[in-house]
A and B are shown apart, each in its own frame.
Chain A
């Protein structure tokens, strides 16, 4: 896409604007005593626990405190563990289904609620879509437990459908936000031009609107995927027997003797999360 490579006007103009306002060295109203020290400490504190966790996942011994040399044994052990394999496949399957359905629904809703006048019920639709963000997860979790338990007893049906429904619901707002943001910054004239050139509504959507909003859709899909993969609370309450996902499996393990196997699984989740979030940032910040 051509527009992504050309620098935006604000980028090139920024240094010129800030240059004359630079204060003489040694006295800056922007620095406050002690703030930088606290900030550096904060960054250290944010990352040190994660780094320690990752480090001990490579420990050759069973201890989480005494370093006995580098080894990948815990990764091999986790990969060979059938419960982990099972949970990992279920987690991915669940996240894939929930994120896909949520993104399709969110795309449609975003198209309906952006670039428009105030139509009756717009605020209500917006509030409903964002509703899962406002309620504490534990509250939604027990509400779902109540309803789904009744349905499970009534129908005798205990498949993944309950988990998929629950995950899809809380993924919708996360998918919706980047898509909406993308639509709001989009250039509407291109669609008008397409219609002027006798493109039908559908053709305009498929050939102009959809390609333009694609980065937003992909970003929304990725965000929804990460959110679904990470969920513990709702999954813990909705799952039927034998439907462990990776996070609920780990939560269960914490009650027993913790071996570096949990660290190994955590590290893999961390890596996957960081990669997806980095991609998400690339997708959403390009156009600003």
Chain B
């Protein structure tokens, strides 16, 4: 029949039609997940952008008047007497504490995390799973519970002080709770697995013949480590560092429990604006600042991991 010979569709049109239908079906299938996240995660973030440009209400919440005060108050404040702008020292010191404590925590987790990852990755295959499981279990157990465990360890009447007093190294219990030390110690404990796991993955992939070659060429253990091993596991180390640094920057529970009311970090400063501070626009602006900082770190992370993938 001639009708079949001269089909109304140009070549490839049917396939394209099918592809469009397939795309539509896949979007429909993803719709519930997208809807939930847009309503209860991504959407509210956009609303927060609007709130950061409004005027704080008298009893919390906001008045619907445009204002840049929220953003300005993140780093400067008005002098009560002559209305001049001065640096908001309280905020700046909290930013600095967040940054420096996150950095110190990252370095500490590096120092103990890299050898641990190396140890696990060089175990015989049968035992490796077991050690890896031991690293992963604390990671999946409740963050609050782990923070409480640290609190009970370092309290004035805690186990550490008890032991030190018994041995006679100290005469009075050390005040460790509610200090920056407590926050750093707690975060190192809580986020250590995030360092060990990516470094483990890197060591696991390491081609040990290259290390052998270095030794054959009379490299000492240290030189082989510095010149051969370290460059090869660098992507894992960078990934681990970012994975530790990012949650430290946004930490809320650990500084709240271990740092008390005085030693605030970024997350606690945000909370303050929605509680006693009653300055929601400032809180919204601070949240967006934190989000931006985290985004920069994560983009860096994605670029490194994708480059690594591209290299093979």
| B-contact 0/1 string along A92-129, CB 8 Å cutoff | 00000000011011101101110011011110010011
A43-B146 contact in complex given A34-B115, A56-B152, C-beta closer than 8 Å = no
For B137, give its contact among A42, A111, A274 (CB under 8 Å).
A274
Contact yes or no, A250 B148, CB < 8 A: yes
The answer to whether A61 has its CB under 8 Å from any CB of chain B is no
| B-contact 0/1 string along A149-186, CB 8 Å cutoff | 10000000000000001101110100010000000000
For A168, give its contact among B40, B140, B295 (CB under 8 Å).
B40
B219 → A minimal CB distance (Å)? 10
B106 → A minimal CB distance (Å)? 16
Among residues 149 to 171 in chain B, which have CB atoms less than 8 Å away from a CB atom of chain A?
149-153, 155, 157-159, 162
Binds B, one of A1-9, A76-84, A136-144: A136-144
Among residues 106 to 124 in chain B, which have CB atoms less than 8 Å away from a CB atom of chain A?
112-113, 115-116, 118-120, 122
Which residue of the partner chain B has the closest CB to A166?
B40
For B149, give its contact among A14, A31, A52, A273 (CB under 8 Å).
A52
Contact yes or no, A29 B37, CB < 8 A: no
For B145, give its contact among A31, A65, A142, A266 (CB under 8 Å).
A266
Which residue of the partner chain A has the closest CB to B150?
A49
Contact yes or no, B26 A119, CB < 8 A: yes
CA distance A165 to B290 in the complex (A): 24
The answer to whether B42 has its CB under 8 Å from any CB of chain A is yes
A105-B32 contact in complex given A38-B112, A131-B42, A274-B141, C-beta closer than 8 Å = yes
The answer to whether B274 has its CB under 8 Å from any CB of chain A is yes
Please list 28 pairs of residues, one from A and one from B, whose beta carbons are closer than 8 Å in the complex, sorted by A's number: A29-B212, A29-B224, A32-B225, A39-B115, A39-B120, A43-B131, A46-B138, A47-B138, A49-B150, A56-B152, A105-B36, A109-B29, A112-B26, A112-B27, A113-B30, A121-B27, A125-B27, A125-B34, A131-B42, A137-B250, A138-B267, A143-B284, A144-B44, A146-B280, A263-B152, A269-B142, A277-B141, A285-B129
For B41, give its contact among A21, A39, A131, A247 (CB under 8 Å).
A131
If A30-B122, A168-B40 are given as contacts, then 4 extra A-B residue pairs at C-beta distance below 8 Å, sorted by A number, are A119-B22, A166-B41, A230-B142, A250-B144
The winner among A53, A132, A136 for most chain B CB atoms within 10 A is A136
| B-contact 0/1 string along A58-102, CB 8 Å cutoff | 000001110000000000000000000000000000000000011
The answer to whether A242 has its CB under 8 Å from any CB of chain B is no
The tally of residues in A whose CB lies under 8 Å from a CB in B reads: 93
A64-B157 contact in complex given A146-B44, A172-B33, A250-B144, C-beta closer than 8 Å = yes
For B291, give its contact among A43, A128, A139 (CB under 8 Å).
A139
Among residues 252 to 267 in chain B, which have CB atoms less than 8 Å away from a CB atom of chain A?
252-253, 256-257, 267
CA distance A112 to B25 in the complex (A): 8
CA distance A65 to B151 in the complex (A): 12
| A-contact 0/1 string along B208-239, CB 8 Å cutoff | 10011001000001001100000000000000
Q: Which residues of B contact A (CB under 8 A)?
A: 19, 22-23, 25-30, 32-34, 36-45, 47-48, 51, 61, 112-113, 115-116, 118-120, 122, 125, 129, 131, 133-138, 140-146, 148-153, 155, 157-159, 162, 189, 192, 196, 208, 211-212, 215, 221, 224-225, 246-247, 249-250, 252-253, 256-257, 267, 270-271, 274, 280, 283-284, 287-288, 290-291, 294-295, 298
Which residues on the B side are within 8 Å of A23 (C-beta)? 212
CA distance A105 to B32 in the complex (A): 5
CA distance A161 to B113 in the complex (A): 41
The answer to whether A262 has its CB under 8 Å from any CB of chain B is yes
CA distance A91 to B256 in the complex (A): 22
CA distance A254 to B159 in the complex (A): 18
Contact yes or no, A128 B34, CB < 8 A: yes
The winner among B34, B134, B144, B211 for most chain A CB atoms within 10 A is B144
For A38, give its contact among B115, B215, B250 (CB under 8 Å).
B115
The answer to whether A197 has its CB under 8 Å from any CB of chain B is no
The answer to whether A36 has its CB under 8 Å from any CB of chain B is yes
A27 → B minimal CB distance (Å)? 8
A232-B45 contact in complex given A29-B215, A38-B116, C-beta closer than 8 Å = no
CA distance A247 to B142 in the complex (A): 9
Contact yes or no, A132 B158, CB < 8 A: no
For B115, give its contact among A32, A104, A145 (CB under 8 Å).
A32
For A102, give its contact among B36, B192, B247, B288 (CB under 8 Å).
B36
For A136, give its contact among B131, B250, B271 (CB under 8 Å).
B250
